[in-house]
C-alpha cells in the first residue's frame, strides 16, 4: 500500500521523536496561493518574484519546529518539486546520498516508509552539519562544471614526426 504525503504529515505532527507531540509547521496557516508561490508550486509567477518568495520560504523553514521531519518526509518520498525543509531537490538529494553512505537504508523498499523516515530523522538530528556538507559538495560540483564549460577549446594540430623539417612537408 502506498503512503501519501497526508499520511506522512499526520505522522510528522504526532512524532514524539524530536521534541514532543503536536508541533505545528510554520507554513500551516499561510494562504494557499501565497504558499504555492513560496514553496515552488506556482509555475505562473515571474522568475524574480519566485526566487525572492522561495528565499523567504527557506528562511521560514529554517525557523520551523518540524523542519527535520518535513525534510525527512520529502527525502523519503523523493519529492522533486517544491522547497521542503528549506532545501531544494538537489540539496535534499545530496543529503540522501550522505545518509545512504552512512548506512541509512533509504533505497530499501522492503522497509516501510515510516521506518525509513524515522531512521532518516534520527540521522539528520545527529548530523546537524549534513546540510552544510551537501551544499559544499553542490557548490564544488557547480564550480567544476563551470570551469569545464568556460575553458576555450584548443584545436590540436597534426603532429609532425621528429626529424622531418618544413622543407620535407612542402616538397
Cα within 13 Å of Cα(24), Cβ side: 5
Task: Give the per-residue pLDDT at 59.
Answer: 86
Closest-CA residue to 72 (of 10, 39, 118): 118
Domain assignments of the chain as residue spans, ordered by start:
5-128
68 pairs with which residues across the strands?
Answer: none
pTM above 0.75, yes or no: no
Residue that the C-alpha cell 528549506 belongs to = 86
Residue 84 class from Cβ within 10 Å (0-12 exposed, 13-18 middle, 19+ buried)?
A: buried
In terms of C-beta density within 10 A (0-12 exposed, 13-18 middle, 19 or more buried), how is residue 125 classed? middle
- In this predicted structure, the answer to whether residue 25 has a pLDDT above a threshold of 50 is yes
pLDDT band at 160 (very low <50, low <70, confident <90, very high): low
Three-state DSSP at 157 gives: coil
Q: Could you tell me which of 60, 69, 72, 75 has the C-alpha nearest to residue 20?
A: 69
Q: Using CA atoms, how far apart are residues 171 and 161, in angstroms rounded to an integer?
A: 16
pLDDT tens, position by position, 41-93: 656 667 787 778 888 888 888 888 888 998 999 999 988 877 888 888 889 99
Amino acid at each position: 500500500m502506498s503512503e501519501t504525503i497526508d499520511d506522512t504529515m499526520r505522522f510528522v505532527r504526532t512524532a514524539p521523536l524530536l521534541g514532543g507531540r503536536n508541533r505545528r509547521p510554520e507554513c500551516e496557516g499561510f494562504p494557499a496561493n501565497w504558499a504555492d508561490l513560496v514553496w515552488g508550486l506556482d509555475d505562473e509567477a515571474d522568475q524574480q518574484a519566485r526566487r525572492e518568495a522561495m528565499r523567504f520560504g527557506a528562511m521560514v523553514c529554517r525557523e520551523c519546529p518540524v523542519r527535520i521531519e518535513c525534510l525527512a518526509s520529502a527525502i523519503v518520498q523523493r519529492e522533486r518539486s517544491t522547497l521542503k525543509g528549506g532545501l531544494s531537490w538537489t540539496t535534499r538529494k545530496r543529503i540522501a546520498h550522505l545518509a545512504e553512505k552512512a548506512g541509512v537504508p533509504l533505497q530499501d523498499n522492503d522497509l516501510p516508509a515510516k521506518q525509513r523516515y524515522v531512521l532518516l530523522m534520527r540521522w539528520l538530528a545527529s548530523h546537524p552539519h549534513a546540510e552544510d556538507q551537501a551544499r559544499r559538495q553542490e557548490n564544488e560540483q557547480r564550480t567544476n562544471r563551470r570551469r569545464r564549460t568556460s575553458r576555450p577549446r584548443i584545436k590540436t594540430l597534426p603532429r609532425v614526426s621528429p626529424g622531418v623539417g618544413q622543407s620535407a612537408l612542402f616538397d
